[in-house]
Structure 1
Amino acid sequence: MNQADVSKLMSQLRIAVKPHRNLRNPDGPEGRLLKLRKTVTALVKHERIELYYNRADEARGYAELLISNAIRYGDRHKATMELADYWLLEKQLVHKLFKVLVPRLENCNFSYTRMYKAPRDYPGMYYRKSVLELRGNPYPSLLPDYTNNRNLIHNVLLDEARKDYRREKLAELADKIASESAVNAEKVGSEGDAKEAENVEKA
């Protein structure tokens, strides 16, 4: 069996599924699974959701499993369709999974989801919150853009280079104005001397 056949048999998951989270639910394990199914459905529907960290971390693994199987087997595979039917409570999202998300994420070399820590609510009880999103979503990025940070070393060096360039140009301009004013003063002085000589001759 060659390497390509082995890669088909191996799991393509980039995020491990961790089912041992402390997600208590008054309805027991069925209620816990229903909550996870609602989370995966909301993630596929909205592509970015904010929720508690433990729930997001576990639901992320199941979303990765669903998308990975959808990419690997397609919509003609019975087990994959059953998996999509189980995890997606809104059935129109099955079409979105195969027609929108699979073409977008099939060439992705990273995980299909991203998770960020969200700021805590203050004052109040401390619960870790997070933002879970699919890659390639239409929303603005949550990461700050550091390219315009003036304190970065390359921006500081570029600013100093601009200042030096402006100083040189202003010095050149000042020298040019000074030389032109000196030439004008010489012309005015020579014209004044000529007028004085003419006046002396006339007198």
Structure 2
Amino acid sequence: MNQAEIRKLIPALRVAVTAKKRRFSNPRGPDGRLHKMRTTVNELIKNERMEVNYNRADEARGYAERLISEAIRYGDCHRPTMELADFWLPEKQNVHKLFKVLVPRFKDSQVSYTRIHKAPHVYPSPLFDKVVLELRGNPFPPLEKFTTKRNWIHNILLEEAHREYLEKKYKQQEQEQEQEEEEVQ
């Protein structure tokens, strides 16, 4: 089996996966780390938005993306996909939510299923950077603020040029109407 055939077997994720080694220490060892990841993915599917450390969110995002993409690709009748969902989602109502709510929502999506936003950092805190990890299309208010670009210099100049053009055009139309009225008389 060559490289091209292997790529067809596993769909590509729509997020960048960092290749650097993550050094998460956990008193329970690798099993404790895996338990934290399962808890994070489960809470993300359950609540659709959560605030966590950046490192944990970045890794959990990859697992959540893979879980959702496999659920979309194979559906709930595929035994390996159900085993994957049972492993990552210990709460069974979240398995139901994955297949009945999230799969129809993301079925035709062309972008990633999750989004990461940086949370405000408390300055004198020794804690890691906090981020908000969320599923796209969640029912919560958006975190991105729409910034108006009206006061940017090029927009001000274009608006003023447009106003001057309209004034010039209206004056020209008035002059043409006056000339037509003079010709009629």
TM-score (norm 2): 0.76
Alpha-carbon shift at residue 160 of structure 1 (Å): 3.9
**Whole-angstrom distance in 2 between the partners of 1:124 and 1:17:** 26
**Whole-angstrom distance in 2 between the partners of 1:87 and 1:25:** 19
Residues 85-109 of structure 1: CA deviation (Å, up to 9, x unaligned): 0101211011110011000001111
**Whole-angstrom distance in 2 between the partners of 1:19 and 1:83:** 25
Q: 1:82 to 1:14 in 2, by over 3 A?
A: same
Residues 2-27 of structure 1: CA deviation (Å, up to 9, x unaligned): xxx98752423223386942221111
Q: 1:154 to 1:103 in 2, by over 3 A?
A: farther
**Whole-angstrom distance in 1 between the partners of 2:20 and 2:32:** 14
Q: Which residue of 1 aligns with 2:77?
A: 76
Q: Which residue of 2 aligns with 1:128?
A: 129
**Whole-angstrom distance in 1 between the partners of 2:34 and 2:68:** 18
Q: Which residue of 1 aligns with 2:151?
A: 151
Extract unaligned runs of 5+ from structure 2. Answer: 168-185
Size of the aligned set, in residue pairs, is: 164
Q: Is the 8 A contact 1:17 1:61 kept in 2?
A: no
Q: Is the 8 A contact 1:19 1:58 kept in 2?
A: no
**Whole-angstrom distance in 2 between the partners of 1:12 and 1:58:** 16
Moved more, 121-130 or 38-47: 121-130
Q: Is the 8 A contact 1:18 1:61 kept in 2?
A: no
Q: Which has the higher contact order (CA 8 A, sep 6+)?
A: 2
SS class of match (2:134): strand
TM-score (norm 1): 0.70
**Whole-angstrom distance in 1 between the partners of 2:134 and 2:42:** 12
Alpha-carbon shift at residue 69 of structure 1 (Å): 0.3
Alpha-carbon shift at residue 158 of structure 1 (Å): 6.7
Q: Which residue of 1 aligns with 2:14?
A: 14
SS class of match (1:133): strand
Identity of aligned residues (%): 60
